[in-house]
Amino acid sequence: MSQWFGAVTDIHDLIQLQERQSVLMAELQHRTRNLMAVVETVIRKSLASSRDMADARARIDERFGALSRVQGLLSRRADGGRVTFDALLSDELGAHVPLSADDEPSRVTLDGPPGVELRSLHVQILALGLHELTTNAVKYGALAYPDGRLVVRWRVREAPQEPPHLLVDWRETGVPDMPHADEPARGGGYGRQLIERALPYQLGARTDYRFEPDGVHCVIELPLPTTEAGSRLRHG
């Protein structure tokens, strides 16, 4: 009898393993297709907004770097875990600017709850949005000027009969020569297009991108996973 129970247990474990492998394979295939679509868009948009091939190559290298970083985050997830917003934000900002320093205060302030899980299918395009905001701040915005400051705040909004949403407020100050609201964005405008068009279309996000008198102000609101585990992390 014990041998029969042991055989049943072995078969049950084998079935669970096969089901898990099928889920992982489906996720890998979907992520690969999604990544290829993102890569194609990055190349096309980079070429269209560049001055010459050298400029295009630099832009493509930077954006591929952002995709490489987010792939690293995805690959380091614990079994069944998700990428969190604070990890994604810190990873991208930290690749371009110091987030803390022993000898002087950081010019970047991050303020929000840790552990806010993101939908896996949202991570790549959101990472590109954060990359564009970051590199524009470094090249033309608050982080290009000694007195410039960047504050990023985020919180989770929950309401009855609605999925939870992540609200991200990106605020730059100390930029002395901001373009007027009706002027084109510097650097070709791909970052603004991505935030105002791609994020709403692909993520169901609501976005507001503005040129304030002293810096860029961008607000992004996007839906979050509704799993019980995700809820525990968001409130933990």
Question: pLDDT at position 165, please?
Answer: 95
Q: Sketch out the chain's domains with CATH numbers.
A: 2-235 (3.30.565.10)
Q: Is the dihedral of CA 53, 202, 172, 211 positive or negative?
A: positive
d(C-alpha 11, C-alpha 41), whole Å: 45
pLDDT of residue 82: 85
Question: In the prediction, which pLDDT does 5 show?
Answer: 45
Q: The tokens 């102000």 sit on which residue?
A: 217
pTM surpassing 0.85? no
pLDDT at 104: 56
* pLDDT given at position 9: 54
* Contact (CB, 8 A) for 110 and 99: yes
What pLDDT, on the 0 to 100 scale, is given for residue 105?
67
Residues with pLDDT less than 70, the chain = 1-50, 55-56, 58-61, 63-65, 68, 72-73, 75-80, 100-105, 181-188, 227-236
- Burial zone of 31 (CB within 10 Å; 0-12 exposed, 13-18 middle, 19+ buried): middle
